[in-house]
Amino acid sequence: MENFTLTFEYNGRSYSAAVGVQGTPEGKVFVVTPLDEELNRILSGNAIIREMDGKMETDVLPEKVEQTRLKLVIASRLSEYLNVPCFAGDVCLMTQAHVDNWEEFHPLLRHEMHHDASID
């Protein structure tokens, strides 16, 4: 996959971000660089979103509220763009309408499915 530009809505305005794609043995790494100077500053130091095991994963820092809000918006939009479910912790940021089997990717539901399917 080549680098691309992603558009997203944040605080009622439309923005764009350059998304660099790097392949790793575990999956893909997306490095997000908002094209707006202020948003780039907000996201600074925490601009990576990963695709692993068929789902997007993003790390957020709860103490950085504005950065967390921005990153979740971008991760959700990236998830929608790639049609891959995205999780922040155990919360799916992508609606079921986009991925029919999103429950299979949910960290907690997937654990429960495997736990319930154990052999007696």
Q: In whole angstroms, what is the distance from residue 118 CA to residue 44 CA?
A: 44
* Most confident region among 4-13, 45-54, 97-106 by mean pLDDT: 4-13
- Give the span between the Cα atoms of 25 and 6, in whole angstroms: 24
Residue percentage of the chain with pLDDT more than 70: 73
The residue behind tokens 């504005």 is: 66
**Would you state the pLDDT for residue 106?**
44
Per DSSP, the three-state class of 116 is helix
What's the domain range around 18?
Answer: 4-116
* pLDDT number for residue 92: 73
The mean predicted confidence, pLDDT, of the chain is 80
Cβ atoms 57, 50 nearer than 8 A: yes
Closest CA to 55 of 18, 92, 9, 95: 92
Cβ atoms of residues 26 and 16 within 8 Å: no
Q: Give the pLDDT confidence of 62-98 residue by residue, as tens digits.
A: 899 999 999 989 998 998 899 888 776 667 766 543 4
How many structural domains are present in the chain? 1
